[in-house]
Chains A and B, each alone.
Chain A
Amino acid sequence: MIGIINYGAGNIFSLTAALDRIGIEYAMINEEGDMENYSHIIIPGVGHAGAAMQKLKATGLTSSIKKLEKPVLGICVGMQLLTRHSEEGDAHLLNVMDIETLHFANRVNLKVPHMGWNKVSPMQNSKLFQNIEKDAYFYFVHSYFIEYNPTFTLAYTDYGIKYSSAIQYNNFYGVQFHPEKSGKAGEQLLKNFCTI
């Protein structure tokens, strides 16, 4: 069963709807004691990374998240929280992975936000991308991106610059796209996460 970190960072209706569609049970994690009830943890998030980090800190869950040994999946801003620092609000984040979250503006000559369907190319065989076509399209909406890194990048996407559209370090996973809005490929990825 999935535990969703409930820290008030945006709307989770679409995420829970997707889990309902694929028949995966879930519940909300409001405090540290709730963590042990679940086999898998999702950190959702939309909006401003700095603001999201403040809200996460306010729940008192940050240190217990960092200590988790069960599979964790950060989605969008929830993924960015796993990095060291974001240019959005000059925010210091969880630092599960020692990489940076950067702004697209002034780094690419393309429209910002990066909004729409783009290809995701896994770098290696990973359970997270099992049974998903290579270079499948996923749905993205974001203005900040996680730099490419040979250690942490699990899949990359090209938006004028090659960046991390999925990251992994041990049991921690993150995806920049929205699997809950990415058609069949997205639903398969959520199913895959539950089998890790």
Chain B
Amino acid sequence: MESSLADQLLNADINAGVAKRIIPCLDVKDGRTVKGINFVDLRDAGDPVELAWQYSAQGADELVFLDITATHEKRKTTVEMVKAVARNVNIPFTIGGGIHEVADAEILLHSGADKISINSAAVKNPALINTLANAFGIQFVVVAVDTKHIDGKNYVHLNGGRIKTDILTEEWIKEAESRGAGEILLTSMDHDGTKNGFDCTLLKKINQSLTIPLIASGGAGSKQHFTDVFLEANVDAALAASVFHYGEILIPDLKDSLRASGIKIR
């Protein structure tokens, strides 16, 4: 039997192709980072630009900003923040949160964002993925999915994992890919915050079904967890927040350790 492209991808040499990416994720509100950050002496721990610069200097491959700004009026501060990051940082970054229509995405593109990430808005209006991909190219569109394991099945959750849907995660991700997602950011709500490691079983299964890149999120607690998710699930990137922000894992150390495990790292 002829093996599928996905099988070939999984069985391919882990060092073929691009380097595996390490992605710190920053929550921002009204143009300021909201989680405590203390991995390095900062003049202003709430300044996303300074943090982004620090992370890029440490060797982060990419950054994700999740904007939790509540009101539409305050979105202007987000746009200003995106511009400031683009002016000062020389690595790619994604911005997610508050993107419901083409105009929201367009202003971020023209402010220097490399990609936008959509989550609940895409579940509520799947055609948004097609619209954004047609307008800006699939490389601009990351679909973020929050998933929880319930009674042997994986269900998509909304609003940061608080609202369950009846949509099966595997099916939604395939639909997102076919509609024009350029990348999937999958967060396991069961693993998120536990620091017990990524959900390698689910990530491996999803990755086998995809021909676009997959970013693993949720559960990072040690350097070994990153090695595991790259070797076991062969995901393209791994994202984490607190372990980086609190200095529990330093990116240069992490990259050394991944290289020592034979993983292709920039």
Contact = CB atoms under 8 A, between A and B. Distances in A.
B193 interface: no
Most chain B C-beta atoms within 10 Å of own C-beta, residue among A14, A46, A180, A182: A14
* Main SS at interface, chain B: loop
Given A13-B83, A13-B86, A182-B90, A115 B266 contact: no
Given A113-B138, A116-B19, A186 B90 contact: yes
A191 interface: no
30 contacts: A13-B86, A13-B110, A14-B86, A17-B87, A17-B112, A20-B87, A46-B137, A47-B136, A48-B137, A110-B12, A110-B17, A112-B212, A113-B138, A114-B18, A115-B18, A115-B139, A115-B182, A115-B183, A116-B19, A117-B18, A118-B17, A118-B19, A137-B266, A139-B91, A140-B18, A141-B139, A143-B139, A160-B17, A184-B90, A186-B90
Contacts of B110: 11, 13
Interface of B: 5, 8-9, 12, 16-19, 21, 56, 61, 83, 86-88, 90-92, 109-112, 114, 136-139, 182-183, 210-213, 236-237, 266
A139 B92 contact: yes
- Give 10 nearest A-B pairs by CB, closest first: A116-B18, A13-B112, A137-B266, A109-B8, A117-B266, A117-B19, A17-B87, A141-B139, A181-B92, A110-B17
A21 interface: yes
Contact of B182 (A20, A110, A113, A181): A113
Contacts of B16: 110, 158, 160
Contact of A13 (B18, B111, B183): B111
A139 B115 CA distance: 14
A183 B137 contact: no
Contacts of B12: 109-110
B82 to A, nearest CB: 9
Contacts of A46: 137, 139
Nearest to A46: B137
